[in-house]
Amino acid sequence: MATQRRAPKVAIIGAGCSGITTAKRLADYGIDYDQFEMSDDVGGNWYYDNPNGRSACYSSLHIDTSTARLQFEDYPAPADYPDFPSHTLIHQYFRDYTEHFGLREKITFNTAVTHARRTADGWRLTLSTGETRDYTDLVVASGHHWDPRLPDYPGHFDGVLMHSHDYRTPFEPVDMRGKTVIVVGMGNSGLDIAGELSPNWLAKKLYVSARRGVWVLLKYRNGVAADKVMTPPEIPKEEGLKMARAVIKEQLGAMSNYGLPEPDHEPLAAHPSVSADFLTKAGSGDIHFLPEIARLDGRTVHLVDGTSVEADVIVCATGYNMRFEFFDPAEVDLHPDAEHRYRLFKRIIKPGVEHLFFAGLAQSSPTIVNLAEQQSKLIARQIAGEYAPPSAEDQVAIMQADEQAHLSQYYAAARHTIQIDFGRYCVDLMAEIAAGEQRAKARTATAASR
């Protein structure tokens, strides 16, 4: 294992929630760092109309995670925040966090990292200003919801085909009034946008198209935000899943009761799709379901079951490509594989790659906000020399076992390759930090005795 050759100097890419909580932790440890943000403010994806063009926020967006579960442990959200805050409140919360801990002065705004190259001593970064800087360690906190993945449908469409990333309101960038609209995908953004466009005074007709049915979960369970009553990690996973699935089925009934197809999987075998009103609108006839799109021909949309509909607008809520544009394409081990997998030890460390850390690069229920906060505890300890990871070989073996444990409940899909069970992940992460602290102490004692 390589050792630090000089006092740590860390670069953090990004000042969204993952970047600012990592910066706060490094500051707590007295570790020197620089932080680079493409935009003119913190907030990342929760910065509406972010001038860097990477935010997918739409005007009506509210987070699907309750305030109690998303807040940083060292900076509770204001007591008057609702259960499910709007993007405006979330963005303000991140701004307030940054100001409270004095983090803003260390952020270089309006500056992108255009290239990050490994060196013998760490990392050399090239900035959008043309400047190059050297660092001992690099933390990538730039997020993975910014490069829209559009379906490649055969044929051509004479209407508007857009990704949900570009959607802002029912009138911007496309005026949907009187239009026949198809929303593709039944993830959280798809449900939100379909619900917003469905009133009959707005879209002429609103369709949702998907390759499979999903379980649409409710935000509240018996008057309590549903994520407040998630199965605790002390309960064995299979037992917890069995109980949770039974509760969901009893609460929701069959999806076909709402005019939707029955899912081909159990509840919680997919990343949760959550909505307060989608099922009611579907059951009320405001939302109509279509199977997967097969091809396009002018304004005619042909479906895999052989039927077709006419449409004016197609909004694709079809996810994102995970991509790190600042890594050299030739550095194959630094990029996702062909199956959209990016394997990391504890979702933080790339085995065999020294002094590189990722913060928030996971798909988590309930949220990545305090996920990144927990990850920062390992990152700061390792850079400070208080934590030592296992060997690269052991990291790979542990990583593979972790992936099996976290992904076994989900059906195979690109959207699930970095999924984790938040509660169990955090318990495991704290255990690994404790083990790594003992490894670090043992190595220090061995070195001192020589």
Question: Angle 438-373-38 (CA atoms, 0-180°, nearest 5)?
Answer: 125
Residue 406: the pLDDT is 92
Residue 447: the pLDDT is 81
- Helix pair 17-28, 369-384: axis angle to 10 deg: 40
Which listed CATH number (3.50.50.60, 3.30.2310.20, 3.40.640.10, 3.90.1170.50) goes with 150-316?
Answer: 3.50.50.60
Task: Determine if residue 365 is left, alpha or beta; phi over 0 gives left, psi from -120 to 50 gives alpha, anything else beta.
Answer: beta
Residue 354: the pLDDT is 93
Q: What is the DSSP letter of 389?
A: P
What residue type is assigned to position 241 of the chain? L
Q: Which helix (H) or strand (E) holds 197?
A: helix 188-197
Using alpha carbons, list the distances in angstroms from residue 267 to 28, 101, 243, 250, 258: 41, 40, 11, 11, 16
Q: Which of 312, 343, 325 is nearest to 205 (CA)?
A: 312
Residue 328: the pLDDT is 96
Q: Is 9-147+320-449's fold the same as 150-316's? A: yes
Strands 132-135 and 122-127 turn out to be antiparallel
Residue 85: the pLDDT is 96
Mean pLDDT per 10-residue section of the chain, whose length is 450 residues: 70 98 98 98 97 96 92 94 96 98 98 97 97 98 94 98 98 98 97 97 97 95 90 92 95 96 96 95 97 98 98 97 96 93 96 96 85 97 97 96 93 91 94 97 85
Residue 5: the pLDDT is 54
Question: Angle 239-72-67 (CA atoms, 0-180°, nearest 5)?
Answer: 70
Both structure tokens of 55: 């935010």
Please report, to the nearest 10 degrees, the dihedral formed by the alpha carbons of residues 363, 365, 368, 369 taken in order.
170
Partners of 289 in the beta sheet?
Answer: 208
For residue 416, how many other CB atoms are within 10 A of its CB?
18
* Fold for the domain defined by 9-147+320-449: FAD/NAD(P)-binding domain (3.50.50)
Where are the chain's structural domains? Answer: 9-147+320-449, 150-316
Residue 75: the pLDDT is 96
Q: Which of 52, 45, 48, 70 is nearest to 60 (CA)?
A: 48
Buried b (16+ CB within 10 A) or exposed e, 61-76: bbbbbbbebbbbeebe
Measured in degrees and rounded to the nearest 5, phi and psi for residue 227 equal: -75, -10
Residue 1: the pLDDT is 43
Residue 28: the pLDDT is 98
